[in-house]
Amino acid sequence: MEMATINPLLSAQKTSDSSLQPVLHPLVLLTISDYITRHTLRGQSGPVVGALLGQQNGREVTIEHAFECAIIMEGDKVILDDAWFTQRLDQMKTIHSSPQLDLVGWYTLFPRSGPTPAILAIHSSLLSKYNESCLLLGFHSEESVKHDAGSRLPLTIYESNYEAEEHKNEQGEDKEMRDEEPPLHLKFRELPYSVETGEAEMISMDFVARGAGNATAVESREQKTVMPGNTDDPKGKRKMEAMETAADDSSPTKGDEHVLSREDEEMIAAITAKANSIKMLQSRIKLLATYLERLPPSQLTSGEATMAHIEGDPTTPSHTILRSIQALVSRLSLVVPSATEVYEQEMLSEANDVHLMGLLNDALHSIVDIRGLGKKYNIVETTRSQNKKHADDKILGSRFAEV
């Protein structure tokens, strides 16, 4: 029964000193977790597939960056979109040119028991076209929900080798002698890895750790108030403190209804920082657009006349600035998501939510105004009816007096 549970894709050989030694960076974990979260919340179909970038120095392989990949489904078989992957890989190499990073592996999701046959097509393609020692990082999503202190990371790194399969009845001295070599099969061997953090990554990890506090629950002031009959204080030593706290809460001069909690302040600060970043980005884009619009017409042509005009007019922008703008435009494809339709649908849904909240806010303000108008109308009608009643009483009184 135990032999039946062994993964046939795992190698029976033990890890030796000559094996690769992966060094994992936390930025890769953040990228993978972000991709899995977006893939789950958007309800996207298909597996999670991404590439790993790093450096290989001898037997040491660093895994420093990661990006998601576009895939093509051919029935039950999953393959990479070669044209898209080649273009994106060239772009990532251009960006991460100092130091120069290259493709060192790829990642996907599978259980702790090991790789599944569904990953063989992509792995074989990467081995034959890009890197003969391509690593495989398997993320175990079922273990990511566990938060045990000191537990291992929910991932495993494998290296692949082509090995000959040996049957159980062909081991030792009874092994059958054959003239032809046995067929080779792709096998995966688990590698021990270490985690290394750079200075920039330490700042990012510290920011993520501080931002995680926004999701913590904090008890309200009513829950923290100690009442005189509280069982935690049987002798009533905190009775005066509780009475003072209640008096402070009921005092209108304290203005507690406008006091924000720590989580609210952090959320407002984060939203304000994002709003300022968007405003700065918009101002920079307007600056570049204005800069290009003010270019002389001679910049749109080529030839000796253009070069002479550039040399003679010191106000003409230099080619260095234009090349920088062109390089910036060429990198815009990196920020475009692979699933454009899903991204546009999500943006439309977010915009509709914002508009809906605005309409609800307007409706609530209108209801408040109508309620106030109703109260004023009720006061006016009540006063008018009372005045009319007094006038009628006076008329009746005068008539009785005359009689």
Mean of pLDDT values over 351-368? 92
Mapping DSSP to helix (H, G, I), strand (E, B) and coil, where does residue 335 land?
coil
Domain boundaries, the chain: 3-165+183-207, 220-246, 283-334, 346-403
CA atoms within 13 A on the CB side of 43: 3
Average pLDDT over residues 94-122: 87
- Whether the CB-CB separation of 162 and 184 falls below 8 Å is answered with yes
Q: Are 38 and 89 in contact (CB under 8 A)?
A: no
Q: What is the DSSP letter of 15?
A: P
Residues 43-69: what's their mean pLDDT?
A: 88
Structural tokens at position 248? 């402070």
Stretch 109-126: mean pLDDT: 87
Residue range 85-107: mean pLDDT, rounded: 88
Residues in a beta bridge with 107: 50, 137
pLDDT at site 52: 92
With cut-offs at 50, 70 and 90, classify the pLDDT of residue 359.
Answer: very high
Which residue type, as a one-letter code, is found at position 298?
S
Where helices occur in 72-181 by DSSP H, the ranges are 82-95, 120-129
Give the pLDDT confidence score for residue 289 in this predicted structure: 86
Mean pLDDT for the stretch of residues 26-47: 86
DSSP result, 136-166: EEEE-GGGTT---TTPPPSEEEEEEEEEE--
The pLDDT of residue 83 is above 50:
yes
Decide which of 378 and 255 is more confident. Answer: 378
pLDDT number for residue 371: 92
What does the alpha-carbon distance between residue 97 and residue 55 come to, in Å, rounded to a whole number?
A: 11
pLDDT of res. 211: 58
CA distance 388 to 399: 17
156: left (phi over 0), alpha (psi -120 to 50) or beta: beta
Instruction: Give, rounded to a whole angstrom, the gap between the first and last alpha carbons of the chain.
Output: 118
pLDDT, residue 324, reads 84
Residue 112 and residue 156 in contact, taking contact as beta carbons nearer than 8 Å: yes
pLDDT the model gives residue 203:
73
Which uninterrupted H or E stretch holds 26?
A: helix 26-41
Most confident of 76-90, 143-157, 168-182: 76-90
Instruction: Report the range out of 28-37, 145-154, 162-171, 215-224 with the highest average pLDDT.
Output: 28-37
Q: What is the pLDDT of residue 148?
A: 63
The overall average pLDDT reported for the chain is 76
pLDDT in tens, 138-172: 998 887 766 665 667 888 899 888 877 665 555 55
pLDDT above 50: residue 215: no
pLDDT score recorded for residue 53: 92
Instruction: Provide the whole-model pTM.
Output: 0.54
User: Are 163 and 143 a contacting pair, CB within 8 Å?
Assistant: no
**d(Cα 51, Cα 88) in Å, to the nearest integer?**
10
Over the stretch 228-279, which tens digit does the pLDDT of each residue have?
444 445 444 444 454 444 445 544 444 445 677 888 888 888 888 888 889 9
Structure confidence at residue 310 (pLDDT): 46
Buried/exposed code over 132-149 (b: 16+ C-beta within 10 A; e: otherwise):
eebbbbbbbeeeeeeeee
pLDDT of 18 strictly over 90: no
Please report the beta strands in 125-270, taking only residues with DSSP state E, as ranges in sequence order: 135-139, 155-164, 184-191, 194-195
pLDDT grade, residue 1 (50/70/90)? very low
**Predicted confidence (pLDDT) at residue 184 exceeds the cutoff of 50:** yes
Q: Answer with the residue of higher pLDDT: 226 or 387.
A: 387
pLDDT number for residue 152 = 79
Question: What pLDDT does residue 362 have?
Answer: 92
Query: Counting every residue, how long is the chain?
Result: 403
Q: What is the pLDDT of residue 70?
A: 86
Please report which confidence band the pLDDT of residue 370 belongs to, taking 50, 70 and 90 as the band edges.
very high
Q: Which CATH number fits domain 3-165+183-207: 1.20.1250.20, 3.40.50.10710, 3.40.50.1820, 3.40.140.10?
A: 3.40.140.10
Instruction: Please say if the pLDDT value at position 191 is more than 70.
Output: yes
Q: Range with the lowest mean pLDDT among 142-151, 198-207, 321-330?
A: 142-151
Residues 253-263 as b/e (b if ≥16 CB within 10 A, e otherwise) read eeeeeeeeeee
Q: What is the CA radius of gyration of the chain?
A: 35
CA 319, CA 356: separation in Å to the nearest integer? 48
- Given this model, what pLDDT does residue 302 score? 52
| Predicted confidence band of residue 403 (pLDDT cuts 50, 70, 90) | low
Least confident of 43-47, 169-173, 336-340: 169-173
Share of the chain above pLDDT 90, in %: 12
Average pLDDT on 289-306 reads 68
